[in-house]
Amino acid sequence: MLTGQVANISVANETRKQYQTLRHYPADNNKYCYTLDVISRTRYLIRATFLYGDFDNNNVYPKFDISFGPTHWATIVISDADTIESQELIFLATDRTVSICLSNATTGVPFISTLELRQFNANYLVDVAPGTEKISTRMPIDVSRDERPPQKVMQTAVVGRNGSLTYRLNLDGFPAFGWAFTYFAEIEDLGPNDTRKFRLILPGDPDLSKAAVDIQENAQGKYRLYEPGYYNISLPFVLSFRFARTSDSTRGPLLNAMEINKYLKKSDGSSDGPLLADVAAAYSSAELALEGGDPKLSGKNLTGAIPVELTKLSGLVELWLDNNSLSGPIPDFSGCPNLRRIHLENNQLTGDLSSSLGDLSNLRELYVQNNRLSGKVPSGLLNKDMSLNYTGNPGLRNEGNKGNHKKIIIGTSVGASVLLIATIAAFFLLPKGKKKYPPTKGKFQHGVSTQKLMSSLGDNATEAAHYFPLSEIEDATNKFERKIGSGGFGVVYYGRLKDGREIAVKILTNDSFQGKREFSNEVSLLSRIHHRNLVQFLGYCQEDGKSILVYEFMHNGTLKEHLYGPLTHGRGINWIKRLEIAEDAAKGCFGVILLELISGQEAISNENFGINCRNIVQWAKLHIESGDIQGIIDPTLREYDIQSMWKIAEKALMCVQPHGSMRPSISEVIKEIQDAITIEKGTDAVRDGSSDEISRHSVHSSLNLGGSLDMGASDHYLSIDDSIARPTAR
């Protein structure tokens, strides 16, 4: 395993020297795997341990997943820098190697301190509680039964001298179905008149208590194994039971060992493994070969055709081949029915878009922009409820009917996102009786440069993009007299058309776009998108070296102006109004807007965030992951419920994850915002009724009770690691 970085931590205890070093990995969308050699059909114990020790000096407790091959094993949650977290798994090897993978870090970065692999011969030690006695023998025990527990385990036992053995176990991860067995062997010398008979007493299940256990009789002799148990039994989180001697028994109950395992649902993804290995082996990149887990194929300088093996991966959910130098046609992916996302942008692919892509029922994203595709976009893709980006392919034409597309076509620039931010506040602040203007009835007019633009736009140009002559724009703006805004994409001027409509005219700077192709993509995009939370795009102009976009004018300003602009003085937006804006904006925005609503800060500011945080995401993440949400809340907010604030902050961080698979769906975001609004309105009602008795901020805390051992009584207790996976059935 050559990826990842080694870090050293200080360990005071001499018995913990193995924890002085650890290996950590990036918090991205990859799996980082250890491949271990094993012997097929052999049972093993594997143990992974994690000691954080604040190795990265961030004091951010990591949370990430560990998996056994394709099967999710456990979620590692670090809650103390000096506490060792441990996970154990018992498995029956079915191949010559096994993989242990780290992935999906939601806080901090994934890391591992030690990884142990042992053939299954562990000894189980049982502490003795009052009223019990520990006994042992050196005599060999016949364990030739199905489960074959270790000899040394069966040579020890605990006996209830007061007539019973009582247990109460906290089984983390239950209620669930489990595999539970007990192991008995008579290892104590009994007198001629002595008998040992007992029953299992399980409260609430009298049927299990009917049968009596006579170890020597059931095992057919002394020093022989008897192993009653259940292959599939429903167990609660708190399991209370006892072994009680019968009325005709002279000796108390005896127990050598007990085992409870929780079933894990095994992911059946191994059939695609050899195919994926063939894909990785086809490339000479050492970096790709050493990644392990799910290879990341974006930006790997891959050349040639898309490997046909990929089209046979029935379990493939996401395909990221963007930013390479792949050529040739897009293959038929009908053999991948589970595909949800296909990213092929920024390659050199040729040919047409196959109509079979529209038959993939689970497909939600198809990005093929900036290739050399030609032909027509199939109507099956245009009418599908998905995100499709095919811009930057001059030879690719729209096959659908004009104005009847049900989908969102995403452009190559961030113009739409900027427009969304600009209109959110105005949507809530404008009067209800806003004047309705009739649509423009003028015909299209084209100059020389416009003809070039129309040529690059192809058949899409006449769909909705209205052309404004430069002279008309100059008249409307009085030769660009009133400047109302500026930014990285250009300067915005106020204007009024002859029909009375007020407009905002954006003159793009020379370096805002990379040539006429990008500008045509922008116009094509804006002419297609119609959303009540977007400023209405009215048209464009491209004359005398000027590239101009024309929008409707919003009287109440932008969200930026109301959060951290001139309109904040004396009339800031309160928290409940910001939540309502967020609820409506969630249908088309990202987590950046949520963070702006919480903090009242602009998205990019070296002055406010410092040299170590380039933008609001990095700045907010640093505070939120360290538990300091107060550090990002807008100080102008006077009253709010801290629980609703946490809900929005945590969801905002999820929305800005780098890969789509890690981000929540829009419906999840909306539900979280609506829950926050409910909390806030309820708090408002309480404030109005008894504001003197209620604290301004509510406090939310949680207590993690793991797989703890309850020592509240004086009987015998046993702690069981219920994270052990059920061995393969024999």
Structural tokens at position 602: 């602009």
The sign of the torsion formed by the CA atoms of 92, 76, 594, 575 equals positive
CA dist 720 and 179 (Å) reads: 13
For residues 649 and 598, the answer to whether their CB atoms sit within 8 Å is: yes
265 assigned ligand-binding residue: no
Question: Which of 26, 74, 24 is closest to 46 using CA atoms?
Answer: 74
Contact (Cβ atoms closer than 8 angstroms) between residue 181 and residue 724? no
Q: What tokens does 591 get? A: 């987590």
Q: What is the DSSP string of 156-199?
A: EEEEETTSEEEEEEE-TT-SEEEEEEEEB---SPPPTT---EEE
Which position has the token pair 């491209």?
A: 542
Q: What angle do CA 555, 561, 562 make, to 5 degrees?
A: 90
For residue 20, how many other CB atoms are within 10 A of its CB?
A: 14
Tokens read off for 210 = 């009917």
From the centroid of its chain, how far is CA 226?
46
- Tokens 């793009």, located at residue: 508
Rounded Cα gap, residues 469 and 464, in angstroms = 16
- Core vs surface per residue 53-73: b (16+ CB within 10 A) or e: bebbeeebbbbbbbbbbbbbb
Strands (E), 51-194: 63-68, 71-77, 85-92, 97-107, 111-112, 114-119, 132-136, 156-160, 164-170, 176-183
Helices (H), 343-432: 379-382, 415-429
Cis amide linkage into residue 378, ω under 30° from 0: no
**Look-up: residue for tokens 């609001």?**
616
* Torsion angles phi and psi, residue 408, rounded to 5: -105, 125
Q: Is the dihedral of CA 469, 471, 472, 476 positive or negative?
A: positive
Pairing of strands 466-467, 537-543: parallel
Is residue 179 within 8 Å of 231, Cβ to Cβ?
yes
| Contacts of residue 335, Cβ cutoff 8 Å, sequence gap at least 6 | 311, 312, 313, 314
Which positions make up the binding site?
A: 506
Which positions make up the binding site for ATP?
A: 506
